[in-house]
Amino acid sequence: MKIACVIPAYNEDRYLNTVIAKVKAFVDFIIVVDDGSDKRASELAQKAGAFVLRHIINRGQGAALQTGSDYALQLGADIIVHFDADDQFAAAEIPDIIAPIIKGEADIVFGSRFLGKESNLPWIKKYLIWPLGRLINRFFGVHTSDPQSGFRAYTKEVAESFRIENDRMAHCSEILIKLGRGRWRFKEVPITVTYHEYGQKFSGGIRILKDLFIQKINQ
Amino acid sequence: MLQQSIALIFIAIFIWRLFTQRKKQTINNNEFIFWLAFWLIGALAIIFIRLLDKLLITAGFSGSGINFLLYLAVITLFYLIFKLRLKISKLEKSLTDLVRELALK
């Protein structure tokens, strides 16, 4: 089985090389989608041995993931892994994420920060922002323990069956909503997250909500 | 009377701008007709404001004609903003499709 890892990157020069080096051992090819960063990010990723696609202007993580997933399909990938460029996920957990797919137990697997493994989640995120996020996601029909996790893997059949329409951060919830309604079997596995920066703020959550509503209206 | 005249002058300016935009072909036919009808209805409502007052009293409204026009304007503005947001989100989508297409080439 060919495994592709898609890494969207927007001005992530700091950790990109490290991430590519760590991920390399666990996948067949790495696709970095440079989402309108300065040229350095693309050069770094190329030198590190990744396939590099470049968005000429910034379109957001959701758009970059869709571009990367399309390219992975073109390369003949059987499993597509989504991974962040800021070194917050553990590359060594990629085998855990794809294991249920290889065993034939699931078509899509979501990494979850809330299934036992210790992560250095900021207090306000753990006890305020994420519970609130989970509550709102339930309104949209999402019932997983970590709706905003960007560490996931799915089969090529899943990738061919849907498109990420939310360009920005609402794509996490969108993927869960769409796949929850579909015929796909999904599973959650515990992951570890190491925060180097605070990441998405409360205002980001409001923007996600706005994007999800606009998408609902546009349908 | 003075207020009505000022409002009508403003409407005349907007209608004149509408015609110049049409001459320069910066506005399409549908948009032109919509805005022309919008300003003409506005002008008629201002000219016959007393009649509007009476109509509103007959219909059981407590506010005056000018208040009614103001409410109507606010509702219209909100609706137009909503439409604009939808249009922008569609444009954003087209832009993303284009950027993605270029990246995959």
CATH number for the domain including A108?
3.90.550.10
Distance between A66 CA and the closest CA of chain B, angstroms: 8
| A53/B92 CB distance under 8 A | no
Tell if the CB–CB gap between B99 and A214 is shorter than 8 Å.
no
What's the confidence (pLDDT) of residue A115?
A: 79
- Per-position DSSP letters for chain A, written without gaps between them: --EEEEEEESS-HHHHHHHHHHHHTT-SEEEEEEES--HHHHHHHHHTT-EEEEESS---HHHHHHHHHHHHHHTT-SEEEE--TTS-B-GGGHHHHHHHHHTTS-SEEEEETTSS------HHIIIIIHHHHHHHHHHTT---S-TT---EEEEHHHHHH------STTHHHHHHHHHHHSS--EEEEE--B--SS--S-HHHHHHHHHHHHHHHHH-
pLDDT of residue A162: 85
CA B24 to chain centre: 20
Cα A109 to chain centroid, rounded: 11
Chain B residues with CB under 8 Å of A63 CB are 96, 99-100
- With beta carbons less than 8 A apart as the criterion, state whether A78 and A156 touch: yes
Alpha carbons A52 and A37: distance in angstroms, whole number: 12
Q: What integer pLDDT is reported at residue A11 of this predicted model?
A: 87
Q: Which of B85, B89, B99, B101 is the best substitution to test chain A (most A C-beta atoms within 10 A)?
A: B99
Q: Which residue has the higher pLDDT, B55 or A122?
A: B55
Stretches in chain A below the pLDDT threshold 50? none
d(CA A142, CA A178): 9
CB contact under 8 A, B99 and A57: yes
Question: What is the domain range of residue A199?
Answer: 3-218
Q: Which of A112, A84, A111 is nearest to A14 (CA)?
A: A84
Q: Which amino acid is at A141?
A: G
pLDDT score of A56: 94
Report how far apart, in Å, the C-alpha atoms of A178 and of each of A45, A81, A158, A173, A182 are.
Answer: 31, 18, 11, 9, 6
- Interchain contact, A70 vs B95, CB within 8 Å: no
pLDDT, residue A216, reads 63
Contact list in B for residue A60 (CB cut-off 8 A) is 96
Q: B100 and A56: CB-CB below 8 Å? A: no
Query: Does ipTM exceed 0.90?
Result: no
Let me know: does A157 contact A78? Beta carbons within 8 Å: no
Task: From chain A, pick out residues whose CB is under 8 angstroms from the CB of B104.
Answer: 53, 67, 70-71, 74
Nearest to B32 by CA among B21, B48, B43: B21
Inter-chain CB proximity B99 and A71 less than 8 Å: no
Task: Using alpha carbons, select from B104, B27, B44 the residue that is nearest to residue A63.
Answer: B104
Residue pair A156/A79 in contact by the 8 Å Cβ criterion: yes
Domain count, chain A: 1
B85 contacts in A (CB within 8 Å)?
214
Q: Do A167 and B92 touch (CB under 8 A)?
A: yes
Of B85, B86, B104, the CB nearest to A53: B104
Can you give the pLDDT at residue A163? 87
